[in-house]
Amino acid sequence: MQRVRIEYSKGRELQYTGNLDMHKVWERTFRRARLPLAYSQGFHPQPKLQQAAPLPLGFTSSAEIVDVWFDTDEPLEVLTQRITETAQPGIQVRRISLIPPASPALPNLVNAAAYRITCDDPLPETEIQARMEHVLAATTLPRERRGKGYDLRPLVQSLTLEALNPLTLAMILTSLPSATGRPEEVLEELHIDPFTVDIERTQLLFAQS
Domain residue limits, the chain: 2-103, 109-206
Q: Residue type for 45, please?
A: P
pTM assigned to the model: 0.93
CB atoms closer than 10 angstroms to residue 9: 17
DSSP assignment letter at 87: P
pLDDT string in tens for the chain (209-residue length)? 899 999 999 999 999 999 999 999 999 999 999 999 999 888 888 999 999 999 999 999 999 999 999 999 999 999 999 999 999 999 999 999 999 988 999 999 999 999 999 998 889 999 999 999 999 999 999 998 888 888 999 999 999 999 999 999 999 999 987 789 999 999 999 999 999 999 999 999 998 74
C-alpha distances in angstroms, 100 versus 5, 83, 103, 105, 106? 10, 19, 5, 11, 12
Determine the distance from the C-alpha atom of residue 145 to the mean position of all C-alpha atoms in its chain, rounded to a whole number: 20
Q: Given this structure, which CATH class describes domain 2-103?
A: alpha beta
Does the structural domain 109-206 have CATH classification 3.30.70?
A: yes
